[in-house]
Amino acid sequence: MNKPLRRIAIFCGLLVLALLIRDNWLQYVQADELRTDTANRRVNIERYATPRGDIIVDGNPITGSVKSKTGDYEYKRTYKDGAMWAPITGYASQAFGANQLEKIDDGILTGNDDRLFFRNTLDMITGKKKQGGNVVTTLNGAAQKAAFQGLGDKKGAVAAIDPKTGAILALASTPSYDPSTFAGNSTTTDSKAWNDLQKKNNPDDPMLNRALRETYPPGSTFKVVTAAAALENGLVPDADTNTKSPDPWTMPGTTTKLPNEGNLPCKNATLRTALRVSCNT
């Protein structure tokens, strides 16, 4: 090979090497960065190309999917009793992303999670359209409804937990919002609904999850702790023996009297009675 041809061959070889290095850099080093880039719409188009799996309560779905009427996103999310379940489900919006279970379990719900590999492979072989997986919760529908309705127009939260397992049975927060109102990608309806829910436009801040994102003093719930400590350390012999607890009680080292709330049978009450009616003394 003469000298000019050798130089051209080396130059072409370097170009091919540079191309291979660049290709591997894009596919492996920058893959996640490119995949999550806000300018990359392909990820969201793929996410909403099939119906999302459902979030299940008491064996029944509290979510769904419908075909979008416009845009590149084929399906959008729907919710049953959206305001009641929003503190748990969160939202999955074509325009504003997702949070809560919709975000935590997005891989399952979109069908992209590795745990669905064999099902997806079988569907591909059989020609079945890809579908999302379901997320089954420990929630109790009746408990959630009672908590949400009990809060009514108040600002507050209710959390009900199974003490044996730690399973969450209810998680309510008010005021709340319906995630269905901004599940799409419309710059008129969905964007307006989203903006109306923001704290700067709504002082009630309905999108604040008061059950998970706020801190509260323990209040009377701490009476369970002090009662257990009294039993464990022998301060009271059992739950049904009368205690020496005046009503009101003057706190040690002070002249301040601690009362009870209302006309309660708290004077020298048993521990069982004191817990039942929530005696302060």
Do 229 and 132 sit in the same domain of this protein? no
In-domain check, residue 170: no
In-domain check, residue 60: yes
Do 184 and 226 sit in the same domain of this protein? no
Q: Report cis status (omega within 30 of 0) of the bond before 248.
A: yes
* Minimum mean pLDDT range among 10-19, 76-85, 247-256: 10-19
**Can you give the residue range of the structural domain that contains 263?**
219-277
Residue 53 to residue 56: CA distance in whole angstroms? 9
Do 228 and 182 sit in the same domain of this protein? no
Do 124 and 226 sit in the same domain of this protein? no
Do 191 and 67 sit in the same domain of this protein? yes
Q: Are 97 and 190 in contact (CB under 8 A)?
A: no
Do 191 and 230 sit in the same domain of this protein? no
The separation between CA 183 and the C-alpha centre of its own chain, rounded to angstroms, equals: 16
Instruction: Report the mean per-residue pLDDT for the chain.
Output: 91
DSSP the chain: --HHHHHHHHHHHHHHHHHHHHHHIIIIISHHHHHT-TT-THHHHHHTSSPPP-EEETTEESEEEEE-SSSS--EEEEESSHHHHHHHH--EETTTEE-HHHHHTHHHHHT-SGGGHHHHHHHHHHTPPP-PPPEE----HHHHHHHHHHHTTSSEEEEEE-TTT--EEEEEEES---GGGGSS--TTHHHHHHHHHSTTT-TT-TTS-TTTS-----GGGGHHHHHHHHHHTTSSSSTTSBP---SSEEPTTS--EE--SSS-S-TT-BHHHHHHHT---
Q: What is the mean pLDDT of residues 202-230?
A: 92
Catalytic residues: 220
Residue 95 to residue 142: CA distance in whole angstroms? 32
Whether residue 59 is predicted with pLDDT greater than 80 in this model: the reply is yes
Do 187 and 94 sit in the same domain of this protein? yes
pLDDT digits (tens, 9 = 90+) for 142-178: 999 999 999 999 999 999 999 899 999 999 999 999 9
Do 108 and 188 sit in the same domain of this protein? yes
Whether residue 33 is predicted with pLDDT greater than 80 in this model: the reply is no
Whether residue 9 is predicted with pLDDT greater than 90 in this model: the reply is no
Do 234 and 107 sit in the same domain of this protein? no
Torsional class of 252: left (φ above 0), alpha (ψ -120 to 50), beta (otherwise): beta
| Highest-confidence segment of 5-14, 34-43, 53-62, 69-78 | 53-62
Phi and psi, residue 69, nearest 5°: -85, -25
In-domain check, residue 3: no
What is the reported pTM? Answer: 0.72
Do 72 and 187 sit in the same domain of this protein? yes
Residue 216's CB is within 10 A of a number of other CB atoms, namely 9
Res 93: pLDDT:
94
In-domain check, residue 115: yes
Res 1: pLDDT:
63
Do 124 and 225 sit in the same domain of this protein? no
CATH number, residue 130: 3.90.1310.10
Do 101 and 62 sit in the same domain of this protein? yes
Number of domains, the chain: 2
